[in-house]
Amino acid sequence: MRLRRLAPLAALAVCLTGCGGVDTGVQVEGKAVTEVPWTGPVYMTDFYGRSWRRPKEVSPTGRISLDKLTWRDWGKSRARATGEATDLTCLSGCPDGVDDPPSLRVEVVLSGLVRRGDVSYYSNVAITPVRPPAPFWMTGYESTELDVPDA
């Protein structure tokens, strides 16, 4: 009677120990796996929360609009562009009214890639004039955070 009770326990013990073998852990063989570069789409957001890929014109802030953008290195850690920045609020005074706000040639650098699911977003924009010094209405845009959607 006692053997009948112990037989199922012995069978269970054999199954749990891998048929009596000794567990030596995970065996690793061959070369280490290299990281596969991620190549999904990359976006930037504007002041209004819209997502853009290689925009020709965009308003990253409520005060400055970027136009005539020509991008290089989009999708890499730093995307660079040249274009034109316009003072949307006419802080410097619009010579011919609001239809003619001041503008200048600028360099734009997007950086700080943040992955969100199957896409990434640039989290920072830096805007600098092609010919310094920057006018006072551009002060503070040397490095500006962009909104990135929640995960």
DSSP character for 47?
A: T
pTM of the model: 0.71
Nearest one of 63, 70, 117, 55 to 86, comparing CA atoms: 63
Q: Where are the domains of the chain?
A: 35-145
pLDDT of residue 108: 97
- Distance of alpha carbon 47 from alpha carbon 67, whole angstroms: 14
Give strand pairing partners of 120. Answer: 42, 115
Query: Is the distance from CB of 69 to CB of 53 less than 8 angstroms?
Result: no
pLDDT in tens, the chain (151 residues): 555 666 666 666 665 555 555 666 667 677 766 655 667 899 999 999 999 999 999 999 888 999 999 999 999 999 999 999 988 877 666 666 556 678 899 999 999 999 998 999 999 999 999 988 888 878 877 888 999 998 7
Terminal-residue alpha carbon distance, the chain: 61
pLDDT of residue 90: 74
pLDDT of residue 52: 96
pLDDT of residue 40: 85
DSSP-derived 3-state class of residue 52: strand
pLDDT of residue 65: 92
Query: Is the link from the previous residue into 133 a cis peptide, with omega within 30 of 0?
Result: yes
